[in-house]
Amino acid sequence: MRMSLRILLIDMDADRARALEEKLSESGFAEILRAPDDLELAETVERTKPDLVIIDMALPDRDALEDIRAVSAAHPIVMFAGGDDPAFAEEAIAAGVCSYNLSGVALQDVKPIMASAIALFRRYRRVEEELAAAKAMLEERRLIERAKAILMQGRKMTEPEAYRWLQKKAMNENRKLAQVVQEFIERHEADSAAATQAGRKQP
Amino acid sequence: MSDVVSFAAARKGAAPRMRIGLLRLTDGAPVIAAHEFGFFADEGLEAELVVEPSWANIADKLAFGFLDAAVIVPPLAFAVELGLRGAAQPLLIPFAISAGGNTVTLSRPLAQETNERANSDGVSIVAALAACLRARNATLGVVHAYSTHNLLLRYWLATAGIEAGRDFKLAVVPPARAVEALTTGQIAGFCAGAPWGDVARRARVGAIVATSRDIWRNAPEKALAVRTHWAEERPEALGGAIRALLRAAKFCDDPENAAYTAALLSRRKYLDIDPHAILAGLPGGTAPDKGCVFFRGAATFPWRSHGLWFLTEMRRWGLVDESIDLRALAERVYRPDLYRGAIAHLGEPAPLADWKHEGAHDAPWTAEAAPAPIAMPADRFCDGAIFDPDAVASANLAAKSALHNL
């Protein structure tokens, strides 16, 4: 295994990049460089001459990276793990990370590095998804409260009555409660805006 | 009631799924409209749109089966078919998405210098731009090496005698970064699809000096690339996708629908861009005749001669090597036969020929088609060249027979 493999990390998420840098440094065989999320990607690659580039697939910069052959002798090859292992490549794509091999690094050297990157990207992705799910739930609750308030005020319902009314509407329409509630609020707001405008027009 | 639900669920389970990748570009309009209006669902297809940040993602996700289809720049479809930039995957193009829509956008100082020189020297914009670029060794941006933008910009500038690498630098800049790169001076201009030229113009950092039609009138732009394996296993679903897209292309091509389409595309989950910048590039938008065309003039028909023109230009600039039979490749990937088969019973006209001379028409003309002829726009190249697909074939044959004689 080459002791002085130079790896350039290009990642939008600074925390994740730091974590990956630490993890790869611990293994002791690589020199890690971190590129900021910048415009001069081609120049950064020219200057630092990495053997391997690991890049976040959410960045548009992959397209710029693929053209580096146009300005140097380097010939970046998209390499998830090598053509012989599509399952590994699929894991990398699902995790959202890929690598470019710039100096013909041997496959057995790339694989453990990519395995680390995949594991880390996957963990961060899971945290993001959990966060998004939690946010969506909070938002749904907020909307239900708002819809109940509209019903209680406008139709003189009690709170349990208002909730049952919304539930029944969702059931009758065979739709999710969150959808029904959101639409109900939008319609209410559009109606009251129209009413306000109509009110203004009156002499 | 529960029967209805389970029936719907069963039908949903059986519906073939098509995952379609696209970028944040105006010419994604027909795919977005077909999805939002339920045209795919009407054809019994469950479409899933996936907006990707890069062409590289589109290529890799097609190659590894994460996408079944994509709105693509045709040269990249050939690159994936041949495995030129990563893993290979057989693809076919049964439908063309758009014509035109690209802009050449320059930094305001370079645009001003170009316009002044064109006026004072009495020369064309491209000649003036070539002189300016030669004087300052500037860098221009394109969106990907295997893009229509790279090929069109090179073609245009070559007509004024300048070449990338020798007279100016060409760099790949993702369109979402182009406005920033123009502001910092990293690039002096770029060629990209709508709406990015108008985004730069509205941000007051760039000026549009040319569009696709100044390089090649009615230039083919995006196409629908489908994984061959997916298509072969689901011929009915592919036909449905083609019909859904044709219906959406008609909608998006109607000037009356421009404002509606712009609003739809501007949504956060699609382009996430000011609808006014999008409107400029739509048929009937604020820049009439300069933007995308989705339906008129057989814009949806996958002419094999379009594929062959792209391949010939890719070879010209060293992107495909000499050993490849370009005509056979164009024939394998571009599939007008599938297009005709899918729309046969709709009564929509489809051209009778698979190939045509490109650039042969200075004025509108009529293409032979069934059941009725199709009114076609002029298709002139900026240098007046005429591309004869048969000439490419005979060059290949000549090479083969020369080899045979050895």
Neighbouring C-alpha atoms within 13 Å toward the C-beta of A140? 12
* ipTM of the complex in this document: 0.84
Contact list, B66 vs chain A (CB under 8 Å)? 90, 93-94
Is B74 in contact with B149 (CB distance < 8 Å)?
no
Q: How close does chain B come to A50, measured CA to CA in Å? A: 19
Strand runs labelled E in chain A:
5-10, 30-35, 52-56, 77-79, 97-101
- A38 lies within 8 A of chain B by CB: no
Q: Which of B173, B184, B186, B314 to mutate to test the interface with A (most CBs of A within 10 A)?
A: B173
% of chain B beyond a pLDDT of 70: 93
Considering only the beta carbons, identify the residue of A66, A71, A86 that sits closest to B56: A66
Query: DSSP character for A5?
Result: E
Greatest CA separation for chain A: 86
Is B103 in contact with B207 (CB distance < 8 Å)?
no
Cβ–Cβ of B144/A39 closer than 8 Å? no
Contact list, A59 vs chain B (CB under 8 Å)? 53-54
Q: What is the pLDDT of residues B162-221, one digit of tens each?
A: 999 899 999 899 888 888 999 999 999 999 999 999 999 999 999 999 999 999 999 999
**pLDDT averaged over every residue in chain A:** 82
H or E element that contains A140: helix A107-154
Structure confidence at residue B9 as a pLDDT band (50, 70, 90):
very low
CA distance B37 to B39: 6
Structure confidence at residue B108 as a pLDDT band (50, 70, 90):
very high
Q: What is the pLDDT of residues A133-169, one digit of tens each?
A: 888 888 889 999 999 999 999 888 999 999 999 999 9
- The yes-or-no verdict on residue A44 having pLDDT over 70 is yes
- A113 lies within 8 A of chain B by CB: no
Please state the rounded mean pLDDT for residues B124-151: 94
| Three-class secondary structure assignment of chain B | CHHHHHHHHHHHHHCCEEEEEECCCHHHHHHHHHHHCCHHHHCCCEEEEEECCCHHHHHHHHHCCCCCEEEECHHHHHHHHHCCCCCCCCEEEEEECCECCEEEEEEHHHHHHHHHHHHHHCCCHHHHHHHHHHHHCCEEEECCCCCHHHHHHHHHHHCCCCCECCCEEEEECCHHHHHHHHHHCCCCEEEEECCHHHHHHHCCCEEEEEEHHHHECCCECCEEEEEHHHHHHCHHHHHHHHHHHHHHHHHHHCHHHHHHHHHHHCCCCCCCCCHHHHHCCCCCCCCCCCCCECCCCCCCCCCHHHHHHHHHHHHHCCCCCCCCCHHHHHHHHECHHHHHHHHHHHCCCEECCCCCCECCCCCCEEECEECCCEEECCCCECCCCCECHHHHHHHHHHHHHHHHHC
Considering only the beta carbons, identify the residue of B60, B174, B175 that sits closest to A98: B60
H or E element that contains A80: none
Q: Is B132 left (phi over 0), alpha (psi -120 to 50) or beta?
A: alpha
* B195 preceded by a cis bond (ω within 30 of 0): yes
- The yes-or-no verdict on residue B252 having pLDDT over 60 is yes
* B175 preceded by a cis bond (ω within 30 of 0): no
Q: Residue A77: what pLDDT?
A: 59
Please state the rounded mean pLDDT for residues B262-276: 94
* Chains A & B: contacts with CB separation below 8 Å: 81
Please state the rounded mean pLDDT for residues A163-185: 89
Q: Residue B375: what pLDDT?
A: 98
Q: Residue B60: what pLDDT?
A: 93
Q: Residue B397: what pLDDT?
A: 52
Structure tokens that stand for B126 in this block:
């491209």
Cβ–Cβ of B184/A39 closer than 8 Å? yes
- Rounded to two decimals, the pTM is 0.86
Q: How many residues does chain A have?
A: 203
Contacts of A50 (CB under 8 A, 6+ apart): A6, A7, A8, A33, A102
- The yes-or-no verdict on residue B237 having pLDDT over 90 is yes
